A and B are shown apart, each in its own frame.
Chain A
Amino acid sequence: MTTTNKRGQVDRRTGWKEWLSPFFTSDLGIKWLMGLTGVGLLGYVLVHMVGNLKVFFGAEEINLYAASLRELLYPLVPNQSILWLFRIGLTAMFVFHIWAAWVLTNRSHKARGDIKYQAKRQYDAVNYASRTMRWGGVIILLFLIFHLADLTLGYANPEFIYADVYHNIVTSFERVPVAVFYIVAQVALAMHIYHGAWSLFQSLGLANPRFNDWRRWFAVVFAVVILIGNTAMVLAVQVGILTL
């Protein structure tokens, strides 16, 4: 635990262990890292979308892009090494983000106590997005598992061909249930981002009357862009703009 004595005098945190501990023990510390991983995940989702949009330029384009990702900096470094480094980082972010969500949610439930409000609450600031962060997150997680099985590993897609990204996307999204699930997931993600991309400034301590409205806009735009960009591909396949 931390080395606070309840006297307003905190012994200075000398060793790096004491220094890091708050980020894994204190709600504020955990929340701060959550914001940080949030930023990383936002970044990934955006870049990932931009890259994927290459499907509209045809199979060669996107397959080349995917290939170049795998061969990034090759032959300077062994093939796929950068990709794996990146995958490890990404996994770490997801794992911490989700662990944090889990821990903080439990602590809040404990603080709420067993006796909830007996009469109906009247909320003024809480909105659907902020209230569904936790379940929305779970949907995103489920999506992710399926998504990896589907487009990275191919278990969920009988017609999966390694490295033929274009083919995989089209064959996968042609299946109506899959398409529907993808779109649902994108909506969940967009909502998650609508609150998250605003909330992270708060958690990272970046609030100031000067740019507070601007934060709102940032979140809205981010969420909308991701929603449109990602669903566009699913729909494009469904309406037959993208075909084999």
Chain B
Amino acid sequence: MLEPLQEPFMQRALAEVVLIGVAGGALGCWVVFYGLSYAAESLAHSLFPGLVLAAIAGVPLLLGATPAVVVAALAIALGARVAGVSREAAVAVVVTTMLGLGVLLALSPRSPPGVEALLFGDPFGVADADLAAAAALAALVLLSLRLLHGRLLVAGFDRGAARALGVSPALADAALLILLAAATVVAVQGLGNLLVVAVFVGPATAARRLADRMLPTMLLATLLAVLAGVGGLYLSYYAGTAGGASVAAAIVAAYLLSLPLGRLLAARRPARVRAEATIA
């Protein structure tokens, strides 16, 4: 059990999946409750040309991913303003354009070997500099979620009343999308472009079935994401499966396990409401 931990590449991979789990699990709960799963998927795909350019230039992936997210966000905002184009259509056009551009770059002769790791992820390949950047971004995401918690809760619950309660729903959305972009940059190194959305959506949807308050849901989602990450790495180490895909598979397994567990918990909850109704 402890044998893989002797390997430095495994230690770095474990640190990476823990960081991914911490940033992705907690934030994923907001992504799910705000209905931003499609946005999360889109953001990840939009990063791709930036990642490939960073790989070609030999600079940290962060330096490529960040401008790519900004370009994609602006393009979506501008595209949605064109008359007759819905926001959903604008997202789809921008995302496929960015992903296509990334693939063109990745298949160019100047592209270094191993760019498929950018698509499918390679938690075993992260460098120390990537880890340090990921740790800083994960800390930023957690701190922001802590500070914004009350406001995010209000805007997600009742957009119509939010303004009267002193919360701008548009600002809440914008803050979540920025955090989502930051967390995607953290997670994309380990899980890759195509699988990264798993860490936002999987643990959060599982946790949501098992907890009925926001903070416990977030803690549980984080725990599930970290456990699935570590489990996926062990699976990959012993079964020789691809790292990113193994982590994604473990996340899906956690979700599937939550289905019967959630039903069991729901059946065991006391029926307090009905009791009060008979008194009233």
User: Is B truly associated with A?
Assistant: no
Q: Which residues of A contact B (CB under 8 A)?
A: none
Chain B residues close to A by CB (< 8 Å) = none
